[in-house]
């Protein structure tokens, strides 16, 4: 699985002047939310063929399952809490914002899948990364549906999976 950047990990995330922060998670509640998002993704999404096909079509050509077992991909924390700003990616480093975490584990899961698409080469100026959510059982978390909205994600993910 991707590695969660905890203080003990000693992982130095990228420094992006004027951009997103890539910090260790110091808040145990936020760590638990990321782990809860992992618990959504690992059993439901990594084995979902349309999701793996969508990821294989991205520039780096790795399946979602292949990315999800890669511990060289790091999940970092960004304390920014700006509505609509969920996360960012730099190389193999993903960062999840406090805003995203405040929306709950389903939004964190959707953000992780979106950012994984960027790790896999999805450009930052197209809908390619966000578009993977439709193939990865997270269709109802695709922007703009998640902005300012708390959906009933259990019901909707079942609908999407049907």
**121 HSE (CA, 13 A, CB side):** 10
- Least Å distance, CB 90 to Zn ion, is 12
Among the listed ranges 36-44, 92-100, 124-132, 146-154, the one in contact with Zn ion (CB under 5 A) is 124-132
31 or 112: whose CB is closer to Zn ion? 112
- Least Å distance, CB 130 to Zn ion, is 6
Among the listed ranges 29-37, 39-47, 127-135, 144-152, the one in contact with Zn ion (CB under 5 A) is 127-135
Which residues are bridge partners to 23 per DSSP?
Answer: 77
4 or 88: whose CB is closer to Zn ion? 88
Among the listed ranges 9-17, 31-39, 64-72, 121-129, the one in contact with Zn ion (CB under 5 A) is 121-129
The answer to whether residue 96 forms part of the interface with Zn ion (CB under 5 A) is no
31 or 133: whose CB is closer to Zn ion? 133
16, 30, 55, 106, 136 from 142: Cα distances, Å: 26, 22, 16, 11, 11
Polymer length of the chain: 162
Binding Zn ion (rule: CB under 5 A), the pick from 33, 40, 109, 129 is 129
Within 10 A of 83 (CB to CB), how many other CB atoms are there? 10
The answer to whether residue 138 forms part of the interface with Zn ion (CB under 5 A) is no
11, 74, 75 from 71: Cα distances, Å: 12, 7, 10
User: Which residues contact residue 93 at a Cβ distance below 8 angstroms, ignoring those fewer than 6 apart?
Assistant: 13, 14, 22, 73, 74, 76
* Contacts with Zn ion, residue ranges (CB under 5 A): 129
């Amino acid at each position: 699985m991707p590695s969660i950047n905890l203080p003990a990990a000693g992982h130095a995330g990228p420094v992006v002047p004027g951009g997103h922060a890539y910090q260790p998670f110091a808040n145990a509640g936020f760590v638990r939310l990321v782990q809860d998002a992992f618990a959504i993704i690992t059993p439901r999404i990594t084995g979902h063929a349309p999701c793996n096909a969508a990821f294989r079509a991205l520039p780096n050509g790795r399946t979602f399952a292949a990315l999800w077992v890669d511990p060289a991909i790091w999940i970092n924390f960004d304390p920014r809490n700006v509505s609509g700003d969920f996360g960012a990616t730099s190389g193999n480093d993903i960062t999840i914002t406090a805003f995203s975490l405040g929306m709950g584990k389903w939004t964190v899961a959707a953000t992780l899948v979106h950012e994984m698409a960027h790790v896999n080469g999805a450009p930052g100026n197209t809908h390619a990364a966000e578009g993977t959510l439709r193939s990865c059982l997270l269709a109802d978390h695709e922007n703009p549906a998640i902005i300012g909205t708390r959906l009933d994600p259990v019901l909707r993910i079942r609908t999407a999976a049907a």
